[in-house]
Structure 1
């Protein structure tokens, strides 16, 4: 019942969310009320059960109606996954209930870290060791789900003392942490996306997610990317549903193309789920990168097919509002970190060094 009400809310507000006319505070609250962030989490920890693949499907369900909302849910659920895989059980016990209820926003500030892992970028936040923690300096340029009423953000930190980089959870009320105004983004204005500046932010070891980023990041990367894939999956499925609706059951080459693309999409989804469940992506990240690329291509192709099936109607505001939003959403999927360019560059680098 809660999920049904949430779908109705999304259908009524998808355009407002896309245009930034929906109060950002509402978005996470509605997601939390749907109970979808609890999917794939042990009931003993406050979840509703299931596996990480069920969480991917939950995000796909949201993305079929609003990619911006799915993006917020991805940030929340990805941060929760970091807590679940962190050895810091005290931190998990302290933060998880508020994250699951939506009282606290979780921001996955590890996009920079994932690029660091592939040698694309250096870490943007540095930590100078103190007696019981660190003094942080640096900047994260683009982080989603930084809700103004309270958030906690994950970040990988370069150790100024020369030790291994580590991963922290940083609360929004930490002294010296500065949140920018919301970034002016096409289609993502209600997602609480902003930049963070660190000015002598002092944080104790209580906030440590893991003391070695090079060990922790490969462990959480499958969930980070797998959950992210839910956005492309949901968008592609919705566009293909729209194609079918426009055709009214008529047999045509467009319907044949829809069936071929649908089969490609669902076969890729099956491969993604199998790899997440058997955990082979930890040791074989390239396989996950290729699936992420294929799913992004499926989403783009599905929206293009929707345009062909709807024809000129797509350009009439009365009929084409939903299509125009999906067109913008399909343009965002390839640039979500790690972008398709970054993934292809990493695959090329691995092939050249093999």
Structure 2
């Protein structure tokens, strides 16, 4: 009688390959889509019906220890699948979901503007005008999206001219993609902006007719999975720093000890919250605080690694430098550090 390999066994098998490819991916000499296909085949990572949020958090955290770029696009792929899994049943949606789950197509979570609108900030700059036949004509812009390719499925929010909202799934092939300029890190995440010019969208492309309710449903898992890749790169940086805490590096021992204690607390909360990821189980305020703390820890830990590694860490080919550059994106990753601080302050004011 044979038994299926455990999650730990599969991760032990696939993570060394991701780590070995991390440098090439950082240089854009390799495509993380290949790693996503392995994660889909070996772990069903992108199937919300097969792999729980708690397990997805563990996997993405582990992957991000090896390569934040791969952890980041894994989060994007999983979230696109989460969105499509909530859409009304239709043959088109079923095909799109199956393709994203199996990574036959890339999944794009272009929901940053929609989530900002849902929390009370500015409206998403995309308009969906009813076409009189149940579908819509879509126009506007998405300032930033990742995992974008010609075959991508893009999930985004739009506003109706007369009021009301829609969450829609569209094909990237129908949009104009402007690739991002060279970035400090994460260049292999296939990021850029999307221009939408009077694109026809059929009725069965509607994922939700209520942005507010949809955002409330997906946001806990969205924040948890983002925290997972922040946690992964933090753990990698702190582990890599340990051998450097001797000689002159001993002056950083207290800083490392403080960051490690905060990291252990963060991971306890992350995995505890992930086990209770049903909306309403964990206060959104706690999830926002967790995500904010994960960003702070990732940037501080990778910065410490750079200080300890000295001249070697200044070389862009080093893992220390790669982690530092990749983590520097996290404060501006939506929801940005500024938005998270704004939301947390508002939540705390309401709680008083």
Asked if Structure 1 and Structure 2 have the same fold, meaning a TM-score greater than 0.5 normalized by the shorter chain, the answer is: yes
RMSD between superposed Cα atoms in Å: 2.7
Contact residue 88 and residue 210 of structure 1 kept, 8 A: no
Contact residue 32 and residue 100 of structure 1 kept, 8 A: no
Q: How many pairs are equivalent? A: 340
Please, which of 29, 32, 39 is the counterpart of residue 34 of structure 1? 39
Question: What secondary structure, in the 3-state scheme, does the structure 2 residue paired with 1:39 have?
Answer: coil
Instruction: Give the match for residue 71 of structure 1.
Output: 72
Cα distance in 1 for partners of 2:192, 2:127 equals 20
Question: What secondary structure, in the 3-state scheme, does the structure 2 residue paired with 1:88 have?
Answer: coil
Contact residue 272 and residue 291 of structure 1 kept, 8 A: yes
Instruction: Give the match for residue 24 of structure 2.
Output: 16
Contact residue 61 and residue 232 of structure 2 kept, 8 A: yes
Question: What secondary structure, in the 3-state scheme, does the structure 1 residue paired with 2:285 have?
Answer: helix
Gaps of 5+ in 1: none
Please, which of 143, 146, 162 is the counterpart of residue 144 of structure 1? 146
Instruction: Give the match for residue 331 of structure 2.
Output: 334
Contact residue 39 and residue 45 of structure 2 kept, 8 A: no
Please, which of 256, 259, 266 is the counterpart of residue 258 of structure 1? 256
1:212 matches 2:220: no
Which TM-score applies when normalising by structure 2?
0.87
Gaps of 5+ in 2: 1-8
Cα distance in 2 for partners of 1:269, 1:281 equals 20
Question: What secondary structure, in the 3-state scheme, does the structure 1 residue paired with 2:179 have?
Answer: coil
| Deviation digits for residues 222-246 of structure 1 (CA, Å, limit 9, x no counterpart) | 1111111112100110011101233
Cα distance in 2 for partners of 1:239, 1:201 equals 44
Question: What secondary structure, in the 3-state scheme, does the structure 2 residue paired with 1:325 have?
Answer: helix
Which TM-score applies when normalising by structure 1?
0.86
Instruction: Give the match for residue 6 of structure 2.
Output: none
Please, which of 204, 207, 224 is the counterpart of residue 222 of structure 2? 224
| Deviation digits for residues 254-304 of structure 1 (CA, Å, limit 9, x no counterpart) | 445434422321222222333333347647322111111111122122223
Instruction: Give the match for residue 15 of structure 2.
Output: 7
Where does 1:1-354 land on structure 2 (aligned, <5 Å)?
3=11, 6-22=14-30, 26-35=31-40, 38-39=44-45, 41=47, 45=49, 47=50, 49=51, 51-88=52-89, 90-130=91-131, 131-148=133-150, 150-162=151-163, 164-174=164-174, 177-247=175-245, 254-255=252-253, 257-279=255-277, 282=280, 284-315=283-314, 317=315, 321-353=318-350, 354=352
Contact residue 167 and residue 209 of structure 1 kept, 8 A: yes
